[in-house]
Copies of this chain bind each other. A is one copy, B any other.
């Protein structure tokens, strides 16, 4: 079926974007990554447009809200965390949880600006970001917790939600630079061990 190249055929669905459109998107994303890394949350869409060398209308067309741009910029970082979690799950180590948490901390630390930008857009209208990836991560981390429980390296009541809770705490510490997040990890991990949960403070 020979169609005009721009308007996609009814069957295919995903029509290939025009070359300049794709290039603009790529430029915007590249500029956004740089700016987020440099200035974190204090970046506007016009800033990104200027840095990318495109009109601001174009920026708004590609990413209607700054949140969309942040999400796109953070996508592969999130995917990286997911990949690491899966690798740990497949590796079948006895005690993958500390490793996972450390990896999260390192990734967030590697680009604090982006971390701040991501955080700044929590609760912004229209931010249920990365739905599928999030679900996949949940599953992968679930496997880690399961493994650990079976090997007796963590307390039996530990859940996936707990790991996210800790990851969130580490994330906040990294972001605000309010302290050495590795120390937080050192203080926290021992509390995840078996037979520590029983005699909580009265």
Chain A residues proximal to chain B, CB less than 8 Å: 95, 98-99, 122, 161-162, 164-166, 168-170, 172-173, 176, 178-180, 183-184, 186-193, 196-197, 200-201
Task: Beyond the given A95-B201, A169-B169, A188-B191, please list 19 additional residue pairs across the A-B interface where CB-CB is below 8 A.
Answer: A99-B201, A161-B179, A162-B187, A165-B173, A165-B179, A166-B184, A168-B176, A168-B179, A169-B170, A169-B184, A172-B172, A172-B173, A172-B176, A187-B192, A188-B188, A189-B191, A189-B200, A191-B191, A193-B196
In the complex, which residues of chain B have a beta carbon less than 8 angstroms from the beta carbon of A122?
A: 176
In the complex, which residues of chain B have a beta carbon less than 8 angstroms from the beta carbon of A172?
A: 168-169, 172-173, 176
**Which of chain B's residues has its CB closest to A201's CB?**
B98
**Which of chain B's residues has its CB closest to A171's CB?**
B172
**Which of chain B's residues has its CB closest to A186's CB?**
B200
In the complex, which residues of chain B have a beta carbon less than 8 angstroms from the beta carbon of A201?
A: 95, 98-99, 189
In the assembled complex, the Cα of A187 lies from the Cα of B167 at a distance in Å of 13
Contact assessment for B169 and A173 in the assembled complex, using a CB-CB cutoff below 8 Å: yes
